[in-house]
Amino acid sequence: MRVLTLVGARPQFVKASMLSRAFRKQDVEEILVHSGQHYDKKISQVFFDELGIPQPSINLGVGSAPHSMQTGTIMVSLEAFLESIDSISCLLVYGDTNTTLAGALVAAKMNIPLVHVEAGLRSFNSAMPEEINRVITDRLSNLLFCPTQTAIDNLSREGIDNGVYLAGDVMYDATIHFAKLALEGKEDSSNNPFESGQYYLTTIHRPSNTDNPEMLSSILDVLNELDCPILFPAHPRTRAILDKLQKIPPRVAIIEPATYLQMLTMIQEAKAVITDSGGIQKESFWLKKPCVTLRSETEWLETLAGGWNKLVGSDLNLIHEFLSNAPSKNKSQVPFGKPNKSTIASEFIANTMSDYFG
């Protein structure tokens, strides 16, 4: 089996670290292509170094651009690369980014079987670019590996039943694998000025929160009024927007983007997490930290179980209300989405692909 894996953003690097490891155990030939969607070293190359991911065969170097231009540029470059190499068994994509959509469209145009890891997720908010990317990718996929039963049900309602598997979550594999290692290497997160349990961790990057300066300022003002200071590792795009604000509240400490291991350490040592990131919602759930989600909806309904994750939308007063009464214990007995099987998600996916493609 010869697999071309297309990645381009932080969460995809994390997921690829586990599935690439599973492929190597089976002597599967993997060609790793980096779209360059995330290009800053702090949120790109450092993940390859830190997580032991094989270096990409090529970086398409798309960089930052409007959605259509970014997607189109990846498509043109990816198609040219595919025409330059020997045939592959399939093209594998993760999640819901512009990189994912571009890979799905190229696979369809070139009649290459498509594998979608993290299929079936739905926010039911068509204003989110990610939602469009998910729906189209699922429609074009031959193998759809779902992290949760909810995702399976979403696909079934849309008439997609063939090639669908409940695989569990490869990001759960990574979280459990790297969480202890992260704490053991705490010196790597020395840019955190706060003691364990004495801060809230926040990440904000979605356009709905960052592209409206008044909304972003309101969020920061509310965070500044909480009972603990705020640790805010800012994505370069968010940092550029923050730099344009007239004033950053004094109890909000903005630091450089965190590596994956640094972020796992910060989550484990935070009092709670405040984010608009889907991946960090899950990591907080698995690492038993209460989470406030700065959105009106989530693809990860399982994180809402037991009130562990709270959607606040634009009602920012709910942030203080939730954190004042946050649950003290995550009663979840098993990670959501993990099937009752001995193999972890990444190994299940690799095994299933090997059986399918031979």
The stretches of the chain forming alpha helices (DSSP H) are: 10-25, 45-51, 67-84, 98-109, 129-140, 149-157, 170-184, 207-210, 213-224, 236-244, 260-269, 278-286, 317-324, 345-357
CA 42 → CA 10, 117, 181, 202, 278, distances in Å? 10, 25, 19, 18, 20
CB 201 within 8 A of CB 274: yes
What's the DSSP call for residue 303? G
> b or e along 309-326 (b: 16 or more beta carbons within 10 Å of the residue's beta carbon)?
bbbbeeebeebbebbeeb
Active-site positions read: 205
Place of tokens 């190994």: 347
- Identify the CA nearest to 182 among candidates 266, 111, 99: 266
What's the DSSP call for residue 253? E
Q: Vertex 17, ends 266 and 259: CA angle to 5°? A: 30
- Identify the CA nearest to 56 among candidates 29, 38, 33, 39: 33
The stretches of 85-123 forming alpha helices (DSSP H) are: 98-109
Tokens of 7: 């990645």
Cα-Cα-Cα-Cα torsion 107, 111, 113, 116, nearest 10 degrees, comes to 30
Measured in whole angstroms, the distance separating CA 273 from the mean position of its chain's CA atoms is 16
DSSP 22-57: HHHHTT-EEEEEE--SS-SGGGTHHHHHHHTPPPPS
Q: How far apart are CA 253 and CA 193, in angstroms?
A: 8
